[in-house]
């Protein structure tokens, strides 16, 4: 285990023994109270904009600044201690000083000074509060017992890691983001982990009933015990935890309790100084509090009646305030935040309005579901504009979806229709081709890094994901955007990975040619001769006129068609998913070719009328879409990836739409032949 530096060691390295000089208001420094991720991001932004004023940074923890969002990963053993610390020492110089392990206990806004816990006064010109939040501890008995923990600081994590060495039965109170991430981490300590959630569903602020139930099933299969709809009534024990009692009277035995029941803002310092507070420290669009010299950013903030418990909005606020304090005119209009959770390798995504929707005829839910593989996606629109989205399972379009929700982009009916059929509202998944995204697209949601910033860094000499992360901060928080960074680096650098030919490319090419030949025969003026006499028949006419042969070719055609339709379910059916997709695809296209040829013989090139004409047109349309799709896939290694994906999705959609009415038309055709 890496040794964590003590308060004295850190403070000695960060700032020598120092007493602030007596200065007038114009020379007083900018003071930042808080040394969390948002404060460090704000400090970086100020340095980049070259603020011409001294800066003092105060942090009450006797540790190097660290990334709180990675505490669950540290608890799970996925990262080391040194990986949780923020890069910040390069920011320190003669004008930027840090006071770690120093708590500010009072603000006097009349004379513009702050006082630390040693009684030292510091004058300020501008004061920025980044005091964050702390765990919410429910008002129940037993929370002071040995064996009760919260998970908010690095010290909490160290204590919990030490506890899990001898813990065998652990209860996590709270089924939100933090509770589920912590429960996932604690499973690795060979503990029996039970999650108790007061709400009837998990992730009640992000997921609807259907998504929550699917997540429940996934987590239960992985070993978590889940109790929902009933919170803690009390924690049992005399000196240490022996169990918990739920509100319905149920008793659960345990030796450790982790309280993950939410957070509350650290606003007491602001309140005691006379600043306006409610659920947090109230700020306007410039992030100014009720005092013109005091600003606030991060989780302690209440803006437009809303507080944020995620790091992303704090980063956005830090950038806006840094711009304002260096002469800019940026404003903060709120954040459409996104929640991303990965529990036992199962991604969960939610942004905007997703659950407990208001009853309104203007709000619509659009759902795509794949029951067998647990994928579930939902879009929420208001007046035709996208206002929310959620997903269980992998979804490569989450960055674009979040941007569309943030901008409330209009979702035309054909995109809504496409989403219901395919699970994607767009013809091209942009995450597979980030170089084509708009410059304003936010690639790293945690650090609010846009594609324009990333390409600028690449143009300035960054040639690897690591260099790009160090330069822009992208990928340094949750790491979810690192695959996109890798793709962007390879695309922009001009050295993309060569695309190999598709498996079975030769067979795909041959079947495409054969199908096009048959289709060409149908479109040509060629006609099979038909005799005028029942005594003498034309050559081959017995194939489509003889009743027995007609039935043989018809039922063979029906069997091949149903088999081809069944093979198209490979991506939807679990027992078929074990078979080789390339092999089944080749088999499917050969069936398609056989169906086209057999249709030619079954009809004798006679198109018929009414129902028969509709059925024949459907067959020919399917064959056309299939032939071009086969040709496209056979040549995919020679086609620009973005172009290939665009046309592949279009042809697949056409194939699906044409196949949809086929079973009904076949049934009606057979019915008319035998009964009319």
Q: What percent of the chain has pLDDT over 90?
A: 40
Q: What pLDDT was estimated at residue 372?
A: 62
Provide the pairing of β-strand 148-150 with 256-259. parallel
Name the band, by pLDDT with cuts 50, 70 and 90, for residue 254: very high
- Range 614-633 average pLDDT: 80
**Which H/E stretch holds residue 405?**
helix 398-407
Architecture in CATH of 433-492: Orthogonal Bundle (1.10)
Helix (H) or strand (E) holding 57: strand 55-59
- In angstroms and rounded to an integer, the radius of gyration of the C-alpha atoms of the chain is 32
**563 touches 591 (CB < 8 A):** yes
Q: At what angle do helices 505-523 and 581-603 cross, to 10 degrees?
A: 20
Instruction: Tell whether domain 7-133+265-325 is in CATH 3.50.50.60.
Output: yes
How do beta strands 281-283 and 192-197 pair?
Answer: unpaired
- Round to whole Å and give the CA distance between 579 and 562: 18
Q: How many CB atoms lie within 10 A of CB 181?
A: 22
Question: What local confidence, expressed as pLDDT, does residue 642 receive?
Answer: 59
pLDDT of residue 21: 46
Domain spans in the chain, listed from the N-terminal domain onward: 7-133+265-325, 148-261, 433-492, 505-675
Mean pLDDT of 471-493: 67
E strand or H helix that includes residue 162: helix 154-164
Distance CA 84, CA 98 (A): 19
DSSP state of 81: G
120-135: pLDDT as tens digits? 999 999 999 999 999 9
Q: Which two tokens stand for residue 603?
A: 């009809």
Q: What is the pLDDT of residue 324?
A: 93
Q: Between 452 and 223, where is the model more confident?
A: 223
* pLDDT value at residue 208: 93
Fold of 148-261: FAD/NAD(P)-binding domain (3.50.50)
3-state secondary structure 445-500: CCCCEEHHHHHHHHHCCCCCHHHHHHHHCCCCCCCCCHHHHHHHHHHHCCCCCCCC
SS3 state of residue 414: helix
Confidence at residue 652, expressed as pLDDT on a 0 to 100 scale: 77
Q: Summarize the confidence of residues 518-536 as an average pLDDT.
A: 62
148-261 matches 7-133+265-325 in CATH topology:
yes
Quickly list DSSP for 261-311.
Answer: S-EEE--HHHHHTT--BSSSEEE-TT-B-SSTTEEE-STTEEETTB---SH
Residues 266-323: tens digit of each pLDDT = 999 999 999 999 999 999 999 999 999 999 999 999 999 999 988 889 999 999 999 9
**Can you tell me whether residue 387 is helix, strand or coil?**
strand
């Amino acid at each position: 285990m890496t040794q964590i530096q003590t308060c004295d060691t850190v403070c000695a390295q960060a700032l020598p023994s120092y007493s602030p000089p007596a200065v007038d208001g114009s020379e007083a420094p900018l003071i930042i109270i808080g040394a969390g991720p948002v404060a460090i991001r704000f400090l970086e932004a100020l340095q980049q904009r070259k603020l011409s004023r001294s800066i003092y940074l105060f942090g009450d923890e006797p540790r190097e600044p660290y990334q709180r969002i990675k505490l669950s990963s540290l608890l799970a053993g996925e990262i080391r201690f040194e990986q949780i610390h923020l890069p910040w020492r390069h920011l320190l110089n003669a004008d930027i000083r840090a006071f770690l392990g120093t708590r500010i206990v009072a603000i006097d806004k009349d004379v513009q000074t702050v006082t630390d816990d040693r009684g030292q006064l510091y004058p300020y010109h501008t004061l920025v509060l980044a005091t964050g939040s702390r765990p919410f501890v429910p008002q129940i008995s037993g929370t002071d017992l040995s064996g009760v923990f919260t998970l908010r600081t690095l010290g909490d994590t160290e204590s919990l890691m030490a506890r899990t060495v001898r813990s065998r039965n652990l209860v996590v109170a709270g089924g939100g983001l933090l509770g589920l991430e912590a429960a996932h981490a604690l499973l690795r300590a060979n503990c029996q982990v039970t999650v108790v959630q007061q709400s009837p569903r998990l992730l009640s602020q992000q997921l609807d009933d259907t998504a929550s139930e699917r997540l429940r099933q996934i987590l239960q299969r992985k070993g978590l015990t889940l109790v929902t709809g009933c919170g803690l009534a009390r924690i049992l024990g005399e000196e240490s935890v022996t169990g918990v009692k739920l509100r319905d009277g149920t008793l659960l035995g345990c030796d450790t309790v982790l309280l993950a029941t939410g957070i509350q803002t650290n606003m007491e310092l602001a309140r005691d100084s006379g600043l306006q507070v409610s659920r947090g420290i109230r700020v306007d669009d410039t992030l100014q509090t009720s005092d013109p010299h005091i600003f606030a950013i991060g989780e302690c903030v209440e803006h437009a009646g809303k507080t944020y418990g995620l790091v992303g909005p704090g980063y956005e606020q830090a950038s806006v305030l840094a711009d304002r304090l260096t002469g800019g005119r940026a404003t903060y209009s709120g954040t459409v935040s996104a929640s991303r959770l990965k529990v036992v390798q199962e991604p969960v995504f939610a942004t905007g309005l997703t659950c407990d929707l208001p009853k309104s005829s203007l709000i619509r839910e659009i759902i795509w579901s794949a029951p067998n593989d647990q994928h579930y996606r939902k879009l929420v629109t208001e007046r035709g504009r996208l206002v929310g989205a959620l997903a269980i399972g992998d979804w490569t379009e989450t960055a674009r979806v979040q941007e569309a929700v943030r901008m409330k982009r209009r979702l035309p009916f054909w995109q809504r229709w496409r989403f219901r059929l395919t699970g994607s509202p767009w013809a091209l998944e942009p995450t597979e081709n980030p170089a084509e995204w708009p410059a304003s697209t936010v690639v790293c949601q945690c650090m609010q890094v846009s594609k324009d910033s990333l390409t600028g860094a690449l143009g300035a000499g960054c040639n690897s994901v690591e260099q790009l992360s160090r330069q822009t901060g992208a990928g340094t928080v949750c790491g979810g955007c690192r695959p996109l960074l890798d793709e962007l680096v390879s695309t922009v650098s001009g050295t993309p990975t060569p695309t190999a030919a598709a498996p079975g490319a030769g067979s795909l090419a041959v079947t495409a040619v054969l199908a096009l030949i048959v289709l060409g025969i149908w479109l040509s003026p060629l006609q099979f001769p038909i005799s005028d006499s029942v005594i003498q028949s034309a050559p081959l006419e017995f194939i489509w006129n003889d009743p027995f042969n007609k039935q043989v070719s018809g039922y063979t055609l029906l069997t091949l068609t149903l088999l081809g339709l069944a093979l198209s379910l490979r991506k939807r059916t679990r027992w078929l998913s074990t078979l080789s997709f390339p092999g089944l695809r080749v088999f499917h296209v050969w069936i398609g070719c056989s169906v086209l040829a057999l249709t030619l013989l079954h009809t004798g090139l006679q198109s018929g009328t009414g129902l028969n004409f509709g059925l024949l047109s459907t067959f020919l349309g399917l064959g056309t879409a299939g032939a071009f799709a086969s040709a496209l896939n056979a040549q995919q290694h020679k086609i620009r990836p973005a172009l290939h994906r665009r046309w592949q999705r279009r042809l697949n959609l056409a194939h699906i739409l044409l196949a949809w009415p086929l079973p009904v038309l076949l049934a009606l055709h057979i019915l008319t032949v035998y009964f009319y």
